[in-house]
A = this chain, B = another copy of it.
Amino acid sequence: VPRQARISRDAVLDATLSLAEESGLEAVSMRAVASRLGVTPMALYHHVHDKEDLLDALIERLLGELPLPDPSLPWPERLRALAASLRETAGRHPDAFLMLLRRPATTPAALRAREAVYAALNDAGVPDTLVPRVERLLSTFMIGFAASETSGRFAAHDRAVLDDDLEWAQSLIAHALTPD
């Protein structure tokens, strides 16, 4: 029987996530993650292809843990809840969140989040052929906003101003999506 592995891909990702949350993404090095696991840096390469693979997996996990809204809520509230989730996640992991823009929105975790938006747009009565387009535009704005807020672009603005910005935008969006 093969001896028990001391670490696993999941353990590597757990260590990476907690290190990133405590000390920021810049503190995430192969060597730092390994030392947190009490293992040699080279041991990681049995569970992760390289550092880029590690960071990709980190983002996928982050997106997979994004809290999705209760499907029984009215669709405008579901969109609001999604935006709030994104802001919260971005706040905990600013640098990793920014990297969301670098990964194709075709991964399982991205699909999962997208389906929630699709469902809301469906309930709003958006024509089927338009749903993917509206989802792309909506998620682009939501991600861009959360990233601007937590990465520093909106550093000069109070939280209250940004709350109002988003509230204003969301009302406009809800209005635009509501069939007359």
Contact = CB atoms under 8 A, between A and B. Distances in A.
A43 interface: no
Contact of A103 (B103, B143, B153): B153
A101 B156 CA distance: 13
A3 interface: no
The interface residues of chain A, by DSSP majority, are classed as helix
Interface residues of A, number: 31
Given A101-B151, A104-B154, 15 more contacts: A98-B101, A101-B147, A102-B153, A103-B152, A104-B152, A104-B155, A105-B154, A106-B156, A133-B164, A133-B168, A136-B154, A137-B145, A137-B169, A140-B144, A144-B144
A176 B176 CA distance: 9
A57 to B, nearest CB: 16
The 10 closest A-B pairs by CB, nearest first: A144-B144, A104-B155, A140-B144, A102-B151, A141-B141, A101-B151, A102-B152, A101-B147, A101-B153, A140-B145
Nearest to A105: B153
B100 A153 contact: yes
B156 A105 contact: yes
Contacts of A85: none
A65 to B, nearest CB: 19
Interface of A: 98, 100-106, 133, 136-137, 140-141, 143-145, 147-148, 151-157, 164-165, 168-169, 172, 176
